[in-house]
Amino acid sequence: MLLPIAAIIAGLILLVWSADRFVDGSAATARYFGMPSLLIGIIIVGFGTSAPEMVVSALAATAGNPGIALGNAYGSNITNIGLILGFTALISPIAVSSQVVRKELPILLAISAMAAWQIYDGELTRLDAIILLAVFALIMGTTIYQELKKKNHAPQDAQDTQDAQESSMSLPKAIMWLVLGLVLLIVSSRMLVWGAVEIAHALGISDLIIGLTIVAVGTSLPELASSIIAAIKNEHDIALGNIIGSNLFNTLAVVGIAGSIAPMEVSFEVLTRDVTVMCALTVALLIFALGKKGKARINRFEGALLLLSYIAYTVYLISTAFFATSH
């Protein structure tokens, strides 16, 4: 038991560190090739903070542990809204831009509803996975096109050019961290999945519960760190955009990749419990973001409600897991 626990702890530490190096290397490389700063935030940072979920779920699906793959994706979404956004709002109330209310949150809610519809029949087929990946490609392609179109109709951002020229990270160094960060992401994810599976089997706990709790929180640490830092710096769009973008990546790309590798049967409790909680938290987030009297913000009270919801959900998961093992 000690070796799997050590593998999880070491894997989590290496996972967060390598994700940070991967994001830095990717962003620096992108700037050298003239990508707009907003596009870097949407694509590079969004992918970077969701890279742990992608790699962990892909490896879990390959290893024949679909419960960890699916639990990691949906559990990370619940963790992102309940734990991370709730805790972040407690630190600093989050102002919400009108675009997030009108566009991003409704899209996230629609994607969450589609995920529930896909697993309603108790399985995630390869066709379902391909549809998820196709929707993901459509959203990313549209986003890239719109941002590049804005860039072509706007003057070159002098700050972006200066950042690239004066960056302390040279292009070779940026590429090195990009490649090394990705390799370490894979290594640390393998350690984490192996340790989680071993502990689950030793305690008689299902892969799904482990994926929804330990693995989900572990792979969401990059989002937690970036959102708290963004809140402290009053970068509210980054804090909220990071969570919304990550949840889109998780629901579409993470589940899509895992499902395309290994189609899986989905227990009914995933729909009635986990996906229902994920959708409910997304609806709550949209309601909170609408605000009152035109002031769109997520205040500390609403952040506390999100956090308490996450705690209640996690306590319920743990209690049912131990009740099942005791019988």
Per residue in 261-312, pLDDT tens? 989 888 888 999 999 999 999 999 988 888 665 567 888 999 999 999 999 9
How does pLDDT run across 204-236, given as a tens digit for each residue? Answer: 888 888 888 878 887 777 777 777 777 777 776
Q: Is the dihedral of CA 240, 244, 247, 249 positive or negative?
A: negative
Q: Please, which pLDDT band fits residue 131 given cuts at 50, 70 and 90?
A: very high
How does pLDDT run across 148-162, given as a tens digit for each residue? Answer: 776 665 555 545 445
Main-chain dihedrals φ then ψ at residue 149, nearest 5 degrees: -65, -40
Q: Which helix (H) or strand (E) holds 277?
A: helix 276-290
| Burial environment of residue 177 by CB neighbours within 10 A (0 to 12, 13 to 18, 19 or more) | buried
Give the C-alpha distances (Å, rounded to integers) separating 295 from 101, 154, 300: 12, 29, 14
Whether the per-residue pLDDT at 190 is higher than 80: the answer is no
Give the span between the Cα atoms of 282 and 35, in whole angstroms. 31
Q: Please, which pLDDT band fits residue 256 given cuts at 50, 70 and 90?
A: very high
How does pLDDT run across 39-81, given as a tens digit for each residue? Answer: 665 566 666 677 778 888 888 888 888 788 888 899 999 999 9
Give the span between the Cα atoms of 22 and 178, in whole angstroms. 5
CB 259 within 8 Å of CB 126: yes
* 93-119 average pLDDT score: 86
Residue that is written with structure tokens 């929804």 in the block: 212
Cβ partners under 8 Å of residue 79, min gap 6:
216, 217, 220, 310
Whether the per-residue pLDDT at 142 is higher than 80: the answer is yes
Residue that is written with structure tokens 């949906």 in the block: 74
How does pLDDT run across 19-49, given as a tens digit for each residue? Answer: 778 767 777 777 777 766 556 655 666 666 7
Q: Is the dihedral of CA 221, 223, 224, 226 positive or negative?
A: positive
Whether the per-residue pLDDT at 164 is higher than 50: the answer is no
Bridge pairing between strands 123-124 and 264-265: antiparallel
